[in-house]
Structure 1
Amino acid sequence: MPINIASLAITPQMLSLIAEIDEFKGAWRALGTLAPDRLSALRRVATIESIGSSTRIEGSKLSDSDVERLLSNIEIQNFATRDEQEVAGYAEVMETIFASFDEIAPTENHIKQLHRDLLAHSSKDARHRGSYKTNTNHVSAFDAEGKEIGVVFETATPFDTPRLMVELVEWVNKTLDQKQLHPLLVTAIFIVVFLEIHPFQDGNGRLSRVLTTLLLLRSGYVYVPYSSLESVIEASKEGYYLGLRRTQGTIRSDAPVWEPWIIYFLQSLRQQKSRLEAKIKRERLMTQRLPELSVQILELAKAHGRITNSQVVEVTGANRNTVKKHLQMLVSDNHLVQHGSGKATYYSRV
């Protein structure tokens, strides 16, 4: 059965989230006018976060600092563990996407090539990389010892997978080409159906996040390399799996329930862009040559809504008189507003 979106009700919450994300998309050209070296640094940090988070979601134990060390020596091409092999493959595929997204349409051939490259360093996966599954791969739950305790979700059968992937790829390209639906909604639906099919023996979760980045870049969301969506998902894994399950179980019904996954997906995209906004603001403050302590004070004020001299001293460890001078400077430069006087004084962002 082809992708059924007749039951998709576009709610006010969806429209509000899409509008907020698209507003940032439109403003990115102005927001992103940082020096090339700073943009490059932002992208490297985001890439490390994305690789680390996406592989940890699937069970890797490598930290972001482990990932960074591995990427610094990636030309060695000698990866001792499966975790390292997965990180290396993910890094190379991300670079391919960033460099050539305009030339990588979401076709079956390209999806298979990306899967092959994703698992390129994993000898265990050599037999099936780049090919659709030949055995069932239901999503299961495991106990602390790694023993399977039950099937969480039944994916498509190996027999049905080729047909379902043809339908999915035809749907996504037609819908995007004809602009029948907002591209963020198209991307959300594509990803949840892709994961419901689970077309490859292994690597489906990681590949779904690569494909998310690809579709977003091709739809003009060119800021995504500078802020990690994968780290947002890792930080909200319960919501991620809940949204997936609540939608996946209905996809082959007469009235799929798209809303749980779409809301989660759009909220994650909003969090991704909000993190980037905060990073850009920090970079701009630094380029204004504000002292590091002043930047820290502004971030504290943003995080807590209001701050006092004592709170800043406690958090930063700076001298009380030094903090007071920085607070006065930030007030005089219209970065902060002072409220009250004496011991009751507190400060808030303008």
Structure 2
Amino acid sequence: MSLNTDTLTITPAILSLIAEIDEFKGAWRALGTLAPERLSALRRVATIESIGSSTRIEGSKLSDKEVERLLSNLEIRKFASRDEQEVAGYAEVMETVFAHFDAITPTENHIRQLHRDLLVHSAKDEHHRGSYKTNINHVSAFDADGKEIGIVFETATPFDTPRLMTELVGWLDATLKEQSLHPLLAIAIFAVVFLEIHPFQDGNGRLSRVLTTLLLLRSGYAYVPYSSLESVIEQSKEGYYLALRRTQGTIRTDTPDWQPWVEYFLRALQQQKKRLEGKIERERIMIDTLPNLSLQILDLAKEHGKLTVSQIVSLTGANRNTVKKHLQSLVSASHLIQHGTGKGTWYGRA
């Protein structure tokens, strides 16, 4: 397969979107000057949103709150449902990508390995983890209750899949090295063709979003872990499926129509960026308007690691009830995390 990208028209709208996203990419160092623990809290929220959204797009019913509770107990490694198995696998793969993206080149071996890890907790998928599909699989859409509402499009045959994946990975490698397309355009085209091939029996949608995050990080978009692209896609799911269908039906023709998907993809990245800008601004306003006692408590938590109400009262000389009110506000704003209950309660930085 030689992907014909000559039919992609770089419109003023596409140029404007790329420029806006790249401007934010360049400004991220200045924007990302929040304290490390606040950035860590932002990333945790975004990760929970990403895992919840990406699995719900594929039919899972777990809410973000349920995902958060599950992630806090991942060491259990026993999951009551397939939804929980999928969430656990997605969480672990995301952490791998965040921690090691510079070492994970988008080769077929690494793609298969990420697929294997994605489904590592699902016994039902054991026979095909990390292996290309052996049966036909079509892309289906699901409603809010997880019920399949129809086939979106047909995918590559199992016979053609190994060849098409080799060609796609080779195309991506050459395109990024030669810089013949802007990285965002190359990533968009890779994602839509990957989904058109649908190389694995299951998990392709989730894996496509993991690979998108990997490729964005490898291309220098370091802010990606702090704002959920998957959440943007979930909230524009109709547009997502429509753009996929309009482009994927043309990929194997002489004149592929890349425009619908590329424009959808760039607008999703724009929305991801805007959400993060809003979060950063709210964080700054919150810090700037915190009362002195709240700032003292945050500094003490940073210094001591864990604090009880009695310790804070002793260290600050503040009234016990006043300390409790400030702690409640700091926990509500995700500046602190409450651990335990009753006499065993203590607080640490988020």
TM-score relative to the length of structure 1: 0.81
SS of structure 2 residue aligned to 1:102: helix
Q: 1:30/1:150 Cα in 2 relative to 1: closer, same or farther (>3 Å)? A: closer
Q: Note the alpha carbon deviations across 1:299-339, whole angstroms, 9 max, x for none.
A: xxxxxxxxxxxxxxxxxxxxxxxxxxxxxxxxxxxxxxxxx
Partner of residue 179, structure 1: 179
Partner of residue 91, structure 2: 91
SS of structure 1 residue aligned to 2:239: helix
- Letter matched to residue 263 of structure 1: E
Partner of residue 35, structure 2: 35
Unaligned runs of 5+ in 1: 292-350
Partner of residue 328, structure 1: none
C-alpha contact 2:46 2:227 (8 A) present in aligned 1? yes
Shift of residue 154, structure 1, vs aligned partner: 1.1
Q: Distance in 2 between matches of 1:145 and 1:178?
A: 45
Partner of residue 258, structure 1: 258
| 1:1-350 correspondence to structure 2 within 5 Å | 1-140=1-140, 151-289=151-289
Q: Distance in 1 between matches of 2:139 and 2:128?
A: 18
Q: 1:2/1:43 Cα in 2 relative to 1: closer, same or farther (>3 Å)? A: same
Shift of residue 151, structure 1, vs aligned partner: 3.9
Q: Distance in 1 between matches of 2:145 and 2:274?
A: 38
Q: Distance in 2 between matches of 1:146 and 1:67?
A: 16
Shift of residue 18, structure 1, vs aligned partner: 0.3
- Letter matched to residue 54 of structure 2: S
Partner of residue 309, structure 1: none
Q: 1:42/1:149 Cα in 2 relative to 1: closer, same or farther (>3 Å)? A: closer
Partner of residue 314, structure 1: none
Q: 1:232/1:179 Cα in 2 relative to 1: closer, same or farther (>3 Å)? A: same
Shift of residue 139, structure 1, vs aligned partner: 2.1
- Letter matched to residue 15 of structure 2: L
Shift of residue 149, structure 1, vs aligned partner: 7.4
Shift of residue 3, structure 1, vs aligned partner: 1.2
SS of structure 2 residue aligned to 1:152: strand
SS of structure 1 residue aligned to 2:289: coil
Unaligned runs of 5+ in 2: 292-350
Q: Distance in 1 between matches of 2:84 and 2:223?
A: 27
Shift of residue 178, structure 1, vs aligned partner: 1.1
C-alpha contact 2:247 2:258 (8 A) present in aligned 1? yes
Shift of residue 145, structure 1, vs aligned partner: 10
- Letter matched to residue 280 of structure 1: I
C-alpha contact 2:59 2:147 (8 A) present in aligned 1? no
Q: Note the alpha carbon deviations across 1:60-97, whole angstroms, 9 max, x for none.
A: 00000000000000000001100000000000000000
SS of structure 1 residue aligned to 2:68: helix
Shift of residue 153, structure 1, vs aligned partner: 1.1
SS of structure 2 residue aligned to 1:15: helix
C-alpha contact 2:57 2:142 (8 A) present in aligned 1? no
SS of structure 1 residue aligned to 2:152: strand
Shift of residue 105, structure 1, vs aligned partner: 0.6
- Letter matched to residue 123 of structure 2: S
Q: 1:166/1:148 Cα in 2 relative to 1: closer, same or farther (>3 Å)? A: same
Shift of residue 113, structure 1, vs aligned partner: 0.2
Q: 1:144/1:215 Cα in 2 relative to 1: closer, same or farther (>3 Å)? A: closer
Shift of residue 6, structure 1, vs aligned partner: 1.6
C-alpha contact 2:94 2:210 (8 A) present in aligned 1? yes
**How big is the alpha-carbon RMSD for the aligned residues of Structure 1 and Structure 2?**
1.6
Q: 1:28/1:148 Cα in 2 relative to 1: closer, same or farther (>3 Å)? A: closer
Q: Distance in 2 between matches of 1:182 and 1:236?
A: 24
Q: Distance in 1 between matches of 2:146 and 2:279?
A: 39
Q: Distance in 2 between matches of 1:169 and 1:128?
A: 21
Q: Distance in 2 between matches of 1:283 and 1:78?
A: 36
- Letter matched to residue 204 of structure 2: N
Q: 1:58/1:287 Cα in 2 relative to 1: closer, same or farther (>3 Å)? A: same
